[in-house]
Structure 1
Amino acid sequence: MNDDDRLFAEEMAGVKPLEIERRVVIRKDDGGAVNIAARRAAATAQSSARNFLSTSEIELLDPYYVLEFKREGVQNGVFRRLKQGKYAIEARLDLHKMTVEQARLQVFEFIREAMKADLRTIMIVHGRGHHSESTGAVLKSYVNRWLPEMEEVQGFCSAQPQHGGAGAVYIMLRKSEKKKQENRDRLARGRGF
């Protein structure tokens, strides 16, 4: 026995091995062809709403960088009112203390749910990254990348100070067909046709 083996044996004197828990193997019944077909149908239905938002590496923004994005066709006056915080915020999502992957899932679902509910103006609080170990605002940088990737988003900008300032964004969503028809009906009544 060499010195290393002897030293190891001395150190391990009196040590008991860990007790191994007995594990029971549970076999799941696959339920046959009906369950398999149902699972395939559900997977196919969900594929159209897959989360396509990217988590690839990006350049981090300064915590106080002011975000601003407007799609072609959005009226300047409407966008100016959004920047001034003059639209009522109909829903709010707070991303504080989330990982990038958690935030990606939350942002995607939040936008989808807001569209289903016919909401037009929503807000995401992403924070400024002051408590992060990185040199920039990580979630803010990803939100700035993700929102333009979603067709539903017509524009967004950093919020007013009372709503979080550079740590939050106002988001204007596309009008649903139902809301467009309501506007047409309202305007038609106003013209007296």
Structure 2
Amino acid sequence: MTSKDERLIFLEQMKDVRRIRRPNRAEVSTPRELTPGHLERQRSAVDSPLRDANPLTAADVDPLTAHDILSWQRPGVQHGVFRKLRLGHYPIEARLDLHRMTVETARREVFRFIRDCVHYGLRSVIILHGKGERNPDGIAQLKSYLAKWLPELEDVLAFHSAQKHHGGTGAVYVMVRKGDQQKQRNRELHGAR
């Protein structure tokens, strides 16, 4: 069969087909009446506003300067472990850079970052907050908030300002608790005690 024969067969098959006269567009007009579903969703949104699951407070904080050292450990963290963290001897498994973020954005990012570290089993991380040296008042705003936020997170075991080669007082090492999967893996490897 030649291409001419195929074309004739095609035209014969399509002889009753007519062009659609309407434009090929969906009608997207909004309904003018509120349905019971609309009213219920509105009532629900007003009655129960979104709850912020982030426990980090945005309240007043003690102002810190560029050269203030951040240092904190939860009771029960061994002194040798804290010393290794302070000296930067643990490998940095993840980093979060807060430079140029607003306080509210940084608040969300710190909460999300620590939660993700626990989920993925990351234990030793660094947060770069900057020194605030360019601020005319000399206050390191993000650093001040971070010093308040980190102890508020149960998953944070300890933190300390970084060594000079990792950003010095413009960054902080953070030790994160083991996630449930990591704890279970350790129990299996070393036996339940």
Normalising by structure 1, what TM-score? 0.72
> Percent identity among equivalent residues?
43
Gaps of at least 5 residues in structure 2 are 1-28
Counterpart for residue 4 of structure 1: none
Mean alpha-carbon deviation: is it higher for 168-177 or for 132-141? 132-141
Q: Distance in 2 between matches of 1:95 and 1:62?
A: 16
Q: Distance in 2 between matches of 1:154 and 1:63?
A: 24
Counterpart for residue 95 of structure 1: 98
Corresponding letter in the other structure for 2:125: I
How many matched pairs? 159
Return the index of the structure with the highest Cα Rg.
2
Change (3 A) 1:97 1:78: same
Gaps of at least 5 residues in structure 1 are 1-25
Counterpart for residue 121 of structure 1: 124
Answering whether residue 137 of structure 2 is matched by residue 134 of structure 1, we say: yes
Q: Distance in 1 between matches of 2:85 and 2:124?
A: 8
Counterpart for residue 80 of structure 2: 77
Answering whether residue 119 of structure 2 is matched by residue 109 of structure 1, we say: no
Question: Aligned Cα RMSD in Å?
Answer: 2.8
Q: Distance in 2 between matches of 1:28 and 1:71?
A: 57
Aligned runs of 1:158-177 on 2, under 5 Å? 158-177=161-180
Q: Distance in 1 between matches of 2:35 and 2:64?
A: 51
Q: Distance in 1 between matches of 2:31 and 2:60?
A: 40
Change (3 A) 1:109 1:31: farther
Corresponding letter in the other structure for 2:126: M
Query: 1:188 aligned to 179, 187, 191, which one?
Result: 191
CA contact (8 A) 2:162 2:171 kept: yes
Q: Distance in 1 between matches of 2:31 and 2:162?
A: 51
Change (3 A) 1:140 1:31: farther
1:184 to partner: Cα distance:
2.1
